[in-house]
Amino acid sequence: MSSTDFPYADRFPVHRALPERGTPREEVLAEVRQMATEEDAFWETGKCSGTMYSGDHEHYRFLTEAFGMFAHVNVLQRDMCPSATKMEGEIIAMALDLLHAEAVSEGTPCGLVTTGGSGSILHAMLAYREHAAARGRTDVNVVKPETGHPAFDKACHLLGIELRAVPVDPATTVVDPDRVAAAIDDRTVAIVGSACNYGYGTIDPIAALAGLAQERGVGMHVDGCLGGFILPFGEELGYDVPVFDFRLPGVTSISADTHKYGYAFKGSSTVLFRDTALRDAQYFHLPGWTGGKYMSPGIEGSRSGGLLAATWAAMVQLGREGYRTYAADIFDTAEAMKDVVRSYRELRILGSPTFCFSFTSDAFDIYHVADCMRGRGWRFNGQQYPNALHMAVTRPQTRPGVVDSFAVDLAEAVVYAMRKEAAGEQAFSGAIYGGVPGGMSPAAEEFIVSVMDGMLDTELSVPPGS
- Nearest CB to ligand PLP, comparing residues 120 and 361: 120
- Nearest CB to ligand PLP, comparing residues 354 and 361: 354
Quick check: 397 binds ligand PLP (CB under 6 A)?
no
Single out the residue of 255, 199, 189 nearest to residue 222, CA to CA.
255
Quick check: 226 binds ligand PLP (CB under 6 A)?
yes
Query: Which residue stretch of 92-100, 194-202, 298-306, 316-324 sits at the interface with ligand PLP (rule: CB under 6 A)?
Result: 194-202
Single out the residue of 209, 206, 199, 208 nearest to residue 170, CA to CA.
199
Quick check: 351 binds ligand PLP (CB under 6 A)?
no
What span, in angstroms and rounded, lies between the C-alpha atoms of 386 and 380?
A: 15
Quick check: 192 binds ligand PLP (CB under 6 A)?
no
Count of residues in contact with ligand PLP, rule CB under 6 A: 13
Least distance to ligand PLP from the beta carbon of 49, Å? 12
β strands within 216-322, DSSP E: 219-224, 253-256, 269-273, 284-286, 294-296
What span, in angstroms and rounded, lies between the C-alpha atoms of 68 and 75?
A: 14
CA dihedral 25, 27, 29, 34 (to 10 degrees): 180
Least distance to ligand PLP from the beta carbon of 179, Å? 20
What span, in angstroms and rounded, lies between the C-alpha atoms of 234 and 323?
A: 10
- Nearest CB to ligand PLP, comparing residues 173 and 197: 197
Quick check: 365 binds ligand PLP (CB under 6 A)?
no
What span, in angstroms and rounded, lies between the C-alpha atoms of 192 and 433?
A: 21
Query: Which residue stretch of 126-134, 156-164, 172-180, 192-200 sits at the interface with ligand PLP (rule: CB under 6 A)?
Result: 192-200
Least distance to ligand PLP from the beta carbon of 115, Å? 8
Quick check: 197 binds ligand PLP (CB under 6 A)?
yes
Beta-bridged to residue 143, according to DSSP, are 164, 191
What span, in angstroms and rounded, lies between the C-alpha atoms of 239 and 289?
A: 53
Quick check: 118 binds ligand PLP (CB under 6 A)?
yes
What span, in angstroms and rounded, lies between the C-alpha atoms of 143 and 136?
A: 20
Quick check: 353 binds ligand PLP (CB under 6 A)?
no
Of the residues 117, 177, 205, 437, which one makes contact with ligand PLP according to CB under 6 A: 117
Residues lying near ligand PLP in the complex (CB under 6 A): 116-118, 149, 151, 194, 197-198, 223, 225-226, 257, 269
